[in-house]
Amino acid sequence: MSRFFHLLFLAGKSAWNRRATLALVVFSIAVSTTLLLGIERLRTQIRENFVQAVSGTDLVIGARGGNIQLILYAVFHLGGATNNMGWNSAQEIAKRAEVAWAIPISLGDSHNGYPVVATTEDFFEYYRFQGGRPIELAQGKAFEAIFDVVAGAEAARNLGYAPGQKLVLSHGGSSAHLAKHTDKPFTITGVLAPTGTPVDRSFYISLAAMEAIHLNWQGGAPIPGLKIRPEQVTKFNLQPKSITALLVGLKRRSQVFALQREINEWKAEPLTGVMPGVAMDQIWQMLNVGERALLFVSALVTVSGLAGLASAILAGLGERRRELAILRSAGARPMDILILLACEGVLLISAGMLCGLALLVALLVFLAPVLADSYGVFLRLSPPKAGEWLLLGSICLAGFLTSLIPALRAYRMSLSNGLTVSV
């Protein structure tokens, strides 16, 4: 054991004497480690952001249809519902003893390509994401009057909106519209803080507002000759007849299967109850091509760093032939030379990994707030997780195996080859 530590000491001294050259190798490994762990953390965080776009919601309820389709339009506001669920059914479900809260969602309109979501004040109180984080207002306040609107962070940033500005909603969900609700403009009262979820890409109004802007509409178009001014809408019944979906939170999660069965067997109308976590896992499995691509890119970066390690040690063998030959003449065995160069490779890979971890921590400290504010991607500063430790172990093992290539070559170099002087 003492012989091994002596060889390790010699490897360290030899590497230090060539520190200017080997510093580039350490830097290459550090960058590779930072990219590998950074991409892995970003990949897992993106998946977590996706799966936890809605958190704490036990059931998403809508008209009878596919589970994934219901989640796509109720949570991600993509596509559209083939049918709505009745308001009476939504009210009856919300009043059930096992239901703690219920958030109605009504879709169908948009603004400059961003979906408009009609809901109630309960959305701001009970909606959760990312393991229980609440919705917060970065500016202003939630809607109070009928023609108030709250903008998501991304929508407000991209369109340059702030509280107090006026906007007009469009009928339908595409970005190009001929039919707009120009007679009933809205005023932005608040802008939500970034969440990294579909909340950022939406505008929020009240259910009463959704009814008000369609009072003089029928069949997707305004009724000719019928004009209802904004100040007149309060004279009408603005209670919705139907909604797109209902987000439900239960008092005890153990009751979710029983309620889901009752919803799926609802007698008043055909409904579907979906557990969002299960459906989102299914959606992610269909979208994990990008996840695999990120892993492939990070693996290529790591391979390039290890190739640099092997190249540096191999290139230095020609300069170190006499050094190795002297060690052999002093009594070092061929196996000692192999261990010496392998230890040198492990020292370099270890130094590179430590520098890479330090660089990753620095990047997380400085870039995490920027990513959270600009893109809603929350990267937490935390110790390496099990998957990251596995990657670090893989880098270390791969570095050791890579360092064996020059070590085996040195092992085969004969004493005479090292001491021969070319003339």
Pair 96, 217 in one domain: yes
Same domain, 36 and 77: no
- Does residue 45 sit in the same domain as residue 66? no
Q: How confident is the model at residue 315 (pLDDT cuts 50, 70, 90)?
A: low
Whether residues 187 and 66 share a domain: the answer is yes
Amino acid letter for position 206: S
Q: Containing domain of residue 98, as a range?
A: 59-274
Same domain, 113 and 261: yes
Is residue 248 domain-shared with residue 385, that is, in the same domain? no
- Judge if 123 and 250 occupy the same domain: yes
At 261 the pLDDT is: 94
Residue 281 maps to a domain: no
Give the tens place of pLDDT for each residue, 95-127: 999 999 999 999 989 998 899 999 999 999 999
Please answer whether residues 327 and 336 qualify as being in contact, where contact means their C-beta atoms are separated by less than 8 angstroms.
yes
Per-residue pLDDT band at 421 (split at 50, 70, 90): very low
| Phi, psi (deg, nearest 5) at residue 303 | -60, -40
The domain boundary residue, chosen from 274, 305, 333 = 274
Is 280 domain-assigned?
A: no
Burial track 348-358 (b if 16+ CB lie within 10 A, e otherwise): bbbbbbebbbe
Report which of 400, 302, 308 is spatially closest to residue 345, judged by C-alpha positions: 400
Q: Which residue shows structure tokens 């803080």?
A: 193
Q: Are residues 45 and 142 in the same domain?
A: no
Angle between helices 334-375 and 2-17 (to 10 degrees): 60
Structurally, how many domains does the chain consist of? 2
In this structure, the answer to whether residues 129 and 210 fall within a common structural domain is yes
**31 and 147 within one domain:** no
Q: Is residue 283 part of a domain?
A: no
In degrees, rounded to 5, the angle at the alpha carbon of residue 276 between the alpha carbons of residues 272 and 279 is: 85
How confident is the model over 336-346, as a mean pLDDT? Answer: 70
User: Per the domain annotation, does 399 fall within a domain?
Assistant: yes
Percent of the chain with pLDDT over 90: 33
- C-alpha distances in Å from residue 364, one per residue of 36, 145, 194, 240, 389: 14, 41, 18, 46, 18
Instruction: Answer yes or no: do 301 and 380 share one domain.
Output: yes
The answer as to whether 147 is a domain residue is: yes
Q: Distance between CA 154 and CA 347 in Å, rounded?
A: 46
